Amino acid sequence: MAPKLSTTQSSSGSNKPIQTTSQSPFPSAFSALFKAYTQNTSSRLKFIDAFLVFLMASGILQFVYCILVTNFPFNAFLAGFASTVGQFVLTASLRQQVNPENKLEFKEVSHERAFADFVFGSIILHFFVYNFLG
Amino acid sequence: MRTRSHSKSPLSWSLFTLLSVILSALVQLSSAGKSASSTGDSVLVILEPAKKAEYSIFLDGLEKKGYTITFRAPKEEHPLLIEDGLPNFSHVILLASDTKSFAKDIGPQSLVQLLSLGTNLVLTLGLKQNLLTSLAPEFSLLLPPPATPLVSFFPERSDSPNVIPIDVSSQFIPNDTFSVLSSQVTGKVWFSGTPFALNPNPLLFPILHAPAESFAADTSDASGLVSDALADASEKGGEGLWAGSSLSVVAGFQTLIGGGTGHGPDAGSGEDKQTRAVWVGGSSLFSDEFAKKQVVEKIIQERGMKVVENPSGNKQAALEIAGWAFQERGVLRIDEVTHHKVNQTGPVEMYTTNDEIVYTTRISSFNPSTKKWERYSGLKDLQLEFTMLDPHVRTALLPVSGKPGTYSTTFRAPDRHGVFKFVISYQRKGFTHLHHTLSVAVVPPRHDGYPRFLSAAWPYYAGAISTSVGFLLFCAIYVAGEAKEEKKNKKE
């Protein structure tokens, strides 16, 4: 595992020149950003990002429904919305901890430990959510 | 214990039954009374002994109704009105209207105290100033200046202008007011005395109005008929204050619950302490002279006029006025109040918000002829309030057909929790005021009293479930990916 991680770190280090040279108009900046992301991000982080996007979309949908249609029953809204927000926070923390770029900051936290923390926190979160839902 | 009492001798048993019969008879006697009044039999008449014979017809009529009459001269010291803080008589008639000074214990304060202690009063005003002229304003009566009796020159008659026949049948009585003078009062009622205007007071109501053509005037001055004092007083009170049919010659006053504050444990059952006072402009209304005096009426016919002499209605009117004051008629009471949930029987400790509540009450009225309380369904405008500070529900309490005296209503408890009160507050002129309050708690639904899952909340349920499912899938794929990587690493 360790060599793989070192390669990703080196590749992420190599995307710096692309970012600095992109002083051009927005479309090219976005495409450059997108290109860098697809090229330089590991599939694991991409997978985590996909889950984050899903959670964000779900939370936004619920919030829009609450504002436009009804907030009744309010406890169900709170539970549904909080589950997406909470899961997002937990998943984002996991992403921070398994991101090879942050290896120096989380020296003492192994990936397995990070994942176990994530699962533990999520289970507690879902326990509260379902208690509050009905 | 039962087996022991069975073994007792038959003699003790018969004694016991005899005692119980006597006791129950005593109880019945004390509750029923022998007079037509619902509050008591004893009447004190304050009257100059020399004038006793002038009121014999009225006083005999009272005795026939079962009252025991005690006389007392105005300046006599005994019998006392109030002894040891308790009233000595159930009813007091003050016929000594022309007396200037009274004994020490007859004063405005003691008369008011009598009312709050449960004694009914009949007060007659005279032309001179005495204690009653100073007491009258306390009852919202506006008296004209002293020595200004009611005067009317219509209809044309041989009597002096201050002896006036008043037509009872043409009196206007509002729908919600008890008519003190019933249809049994036939003929006109003779009146001579002081009229009075009524200030707006919810407890005060006119029993007999003055005729439309009449006015208060000073008859001692033959020239003008309007004295300076009256003119001054009229200017103060407004023109026409002491003229016309807005004047009253007899007025009734129904007190609120005597003594207590009317709230909480002080309120009592609400009907036994209410007292009545009747103000009569002249004591001659009760006199034999007016009871016997014929009313001469001229009836216009096709061929000239016909003169008819009718007996006056004074005898019956006097008895009915005193009868109302003595709480014979127009006396109501609340016997029973029950409430429960719809489709359930028996009382409940507390209601849940939005419960359907059935409230039922039973009301009796005193019947003076049978001397018993009878169930009464005649109230058409009874209302029930469900209050917490403000009435949250105010609904009509209608009589139930087929059940005499029962009034019932069904209403939904408000969507508000707290301690509510069922309130009946029925105050109509001439009737006993009905007051009844009953506290009950209204609580929100229990934790299992709500519907658990609502269709409106499905988007939120879906959101929560999708998060959980997403989490599970994420874990599975994440772990699978990790395993793959490890394999790869091992291969490498």
Distance (Å, whole) CA B45 – CA B98: 14
Measure the CA dihedral A86/A92/A98/A100, to 10°. -170
- Which ipTM score applies to this complex? 0.80
Q: Which of A51, A76, A111 sits opposite B460 (nearest CB)?
A: A76
Q: Which of A58, A73, A84 sits opposite B457 (nearest CB)?
A: A73
Distance (Å, whole) CA B369 – CA A12: 110
Distance (Å, whole) CA B326 – CA B275: 8
Which chain A residues have a beta carbon less than 8 Å from that of B456?
Answer: 70, 72-73
Burial of B413 (0-12, 13-18, 19+ CB in 10 A): buried
Nearest-CA residue of chain B relative to A60? B463
The per-residue pLDDT of chain A, averaged, comes to 83
CATH tag, B332-443: 2.60.40.1930
Q: How far is CA B180 from CA A94, B37, B372, in A?
A: 91, 15, 20
- B124 in Cβ contact with B95 (< 8 Å): yes
Nearest-CA residue of chain A relative to B491? A1
Split at pLDDT 50, 70, 90, the class of A7 is very low
Q: Is the pLDDT of residue B270 over 50?
A: no
Which chain A residues have a beta carbon less than 8 Å from that of B451?
Answer: none
CB contact under 8 A, B486 and A1: yes
The pLDDT score that the predictor gives to residue A3 is 41
The domain limits of chain B are 11-325, 332-443, 455-483
Tokens linked to B443: 């609580």
Split at pLDDT 50, 70, 90, the class of B284 is very high
- What pTM does this model have? 0.70
Average pLDDT value for residue range B31-48: 83
B106-151 residue pLDDT tens: 999 999 989 888 899 999 998 888 889 889 999 999 888 888 889 8
Other beta carbons less than 10 A from residue B106's beta carbon: 22
B416-452 residue pLDDT tens: 999 999 999 999 999 999 989 999 999 999 888 878 7
DSSP-derived 3-state class of residue A49 = helix
